[in-house]
Chains A and B, each alone.
Chain A
Amino acid sequence: PKGDKGKKCRKKRKERRERRKNKKNKKKNKEDKKENPPGTERPGHQNLCRRRPLHVDFKDVQWTDWIVAPLGYDAYYCDGTCPFPLSDNLNTTNHAVVQTLVNGVDAQAAPTACCVPTTLSSISMLYMDEHDKVILKNYDDMVVEGCGCR
């Protein structure tokens, strides 16, 4: 189509293309992260604060006799350094910036910012209590979704 309509269509098409490109890049970044788990960083790469895999298996604490489901869950945990300057995605509080900065000038009393969970999600658990009653309960803040410096 020609005229204003055509312009709009072209613009929309361009936007769509860009969105697709961004999506692809995001996917690639995710895959890269998966391929390089903590401890396997290449030399020169900093061990930055981020989410690490952690599977809690209820079998380890022999809880399978009272927990019906799930048998375990991916809890994840946060680990890594919070170096200065803090990137936007890691900076959860302005205080973290100050803390990291002060820590950087050899002031031992100022602890460096901590790598902590910033977003958490819930899990559902089906279990039996001591009265032999079957209970389904939702537990908040059990899975780490995102990490940041604080």
Chain B
Amino acid sequence: ELITSTYTQSTYRTATSGAPPPLTEEQKKKAVAALESSLLTLFGFSRRPRPSKGVVIPQYMIDLYRQQSGDTDTPIPAVYTRKHSSSPANTVRSFFHEDEVQLHECGTDNCARIWFNVTYIPQSEVLTDAELRIYVERNHTHEPDIDKVLRHKLQVFEIMKPVSKDKESISRLIDVQDIIVQNSSWVSLDVHPAVLKWKNKPRENHGLEIRVVPHRNYPSSNPLTHVRLRRATEVEQSEWNIQRPLLVTYTDDGKASSLSRTKRSSDSDDNNDADDDIEENAESDTKKKRKRKRKKC
């Protein structure tokens, strides 16, 4: 109503009939303020967010947006390595690990510990999936054996107790991926059980431990040179921002239809409650589908 009565009607008439009722500066300001407040209400914000300058937007999020909005003019790279299944999620959030939080080193070169602050996920939203994306690089210029296929195993552990210097950490394995380093690509690891636990109990978030294990049959001298877990001194900040590990969470606030993206099922004792929620959502989805079918008939 606001839009039609003030701002757009007048601007539209300007374009079409050539007899515009001129808007005063005050009217314009009022119209813009009205437009802003109505849009904020539509988007569910109490006030407009003011992010700090220099926020890095992960390429993966841009690609997901392009895929979602059906932008077919530009080719979408094959970065979607995760298997997809059906579970509603209308919000995707991305997190970089916190550099300020220094966890004790693993002691070996093929391991890294990182910590993500997931407290920004609203409690009202249901977490349907979480993935950790890690960049695996094959630098052909520095490697003599270009044709040689390198195979590693990427393991991700959830650290169960705070890591101390002397004692070994207590951790549980969440996901394993076999990686073949032929070309540079992204590897996706399922960290849903851990993130779900952190979301419900933020105090139990002690971080993740990622280990790169050389394959038995294909031992490599230093697998970590291919897997981007830590920033190397020679790597520029801009390059690191592109290659650094990325945590992506998929949530559903129950308000809007789901994004055309899905979840891989995970079996964990911790996520029973969430699984119930997911089941409920799935049930309502099937009901909706049935209704739609009936309507069509």
Shortest distance from the beta carbon of B185 to any chain A beta carbon, whole Å: 21
A136 in contact with B92 (CB, 8 Å):
yes
Q: Among residues 79 to 109 in chain A, which have CB atoms less than 8 Å away from a CB atom of chain B?
A: 79
> B235 in the interface, Cβ–Cβ < 8 Å?
no
Q: Mark A29-70, 1 if CB is under 8 A from B, else 0.
A: 000000001111000000000001110100011010110111
Closest to A126 in B: B65
Whether B51 and A138, one on each chain, are in contact in the complex, defined by CB atoms closer than 8 angstroms, is no
Q: Are A134 and B57 in contact (CB under 8 A)?
A: yes
State whether B93 touches A139 (Cβ < 8 A). Answer: no
Question: Looking at A77, A123, A137, A139, which has the most chain B CB atoms within 10 Å of its CB?
Answer: A137
With A61-B32, A135-B93 as known contacts, state yes or no: A140 contacts B51, CB within 8 Å. Answer: no
Compute how far the CA of A138 lies from the CA of B44 in the bound complex, rounded to whole angstroms. Answer: 12
Contact of B51 among A79, A122, A124, A129 (CB under 8 A): A129
With the chains together, A6 CA to B12 CA distance in Å? Answer: 56
Contact at B256–A140, with CB atoms within 8 Å? Answer: yes
Asked if B93 and A133 make an inter-chain contact with CB atoms under 8 angstroms apart, the answer reads yes
Number of interface residues of B (CB under 8 A): 39
Check A130 for interface membership: any CB of B closer than 8 A.
Answer: yes
Q: Say yes or no: A54 contacts B3, CB within 8 Å.
A: yes
* Interface of B, helix, strand, loop or mixed by DSSP: mixed
Query: B97-118: which residues lie under 8 A (CB-CB) from chain A?
Result: none
Chain B residues with CB under 8 Å of A139's CB are 42-43, 256
Give the contact-size bracket for chain A.
35 or more
Interface string of B58-69 (1 = CB under 8 A from A): 100110110011
Residues in B38-60 with C-beta less than 8 Å from chain A = 39, 42-43, 48-52, 55, 57-58
B35 touches A (CB below 8 Å): yes
Which A residues touch B36, using CB under 8 A?
A: 61, 63
Contact B94 A133 (CB under 8 A): yes
Residues from chain A with a CB closer than 8 A to the CB of B255 are: 140
Determine which of A54, A133, A142 lies in contact with B42 in the assembled complex, contact meaning CB atoms within 8 Å: A142
- Say yes or no for B8: interface residue by CB 8 A criterion: yes
Residues of chain A with a CB closer than 8 A to B52's CB:
132
A selection of 6 A-B contacts at a CB cut-off of 8 Å is A40-B17, A54-B8, A77-B3, A134-B57, A134-B61, A138-B256
B residues with a Cβ closer than 8 A to A are 3-4, 8, 12-13, 16-17, 32, 35-36, 39, 42-43, 48-52, 55, 57-58, 61-62, 64-65, 68-69, 90-95, 120, 255-259
Q: Which 9 A-B pairs have the closest CB atoms?
A: A128-B51, A140-B256, A136-B92, A61-B36, A138-B90, A126-B65, A130-B49, A124-B68, A39-B16
